[in-house]
Amino acid sequence: MALLILTFLGAGLLGWVRAGRRGGTTGDRVQYALAHAIPAMLAMLALQILAARLGLFG
């Protein structure tokens, strides 16, 4: 669970910074942050489910 939250926050921060470098407004920054964070979190969730199914977690 903590890994999902860290992934969401890290990808969101990346999107926020990328929008800022392009001169985006606050709305643009939020949109970029969510556009990065949501797919990254879903991909991490899929990887965690796969790892659990393969027995990689105790």
Residue-level pLDDT, tens digit, the chain, 58 residues: 899 999 999 999 999 999 999 999 999 999 999 999 999 999 999 999 999 999 998 6
Q: Output the pTM of the full model.
A: 0.88
Query: Which DSSP state fits 54?
Result: T
Identify the residue whose tokens are 């949501």: 38
Per-domain boundaries in the chain: 2-53
List Cβ neighbours of 7 (8 Å cut-off, separation of 6 or more): 37, 40, 41, 44
Phi-psi region of 27 (alpha: psi -120 to 50; beta: other; left: phi over 0): alpha
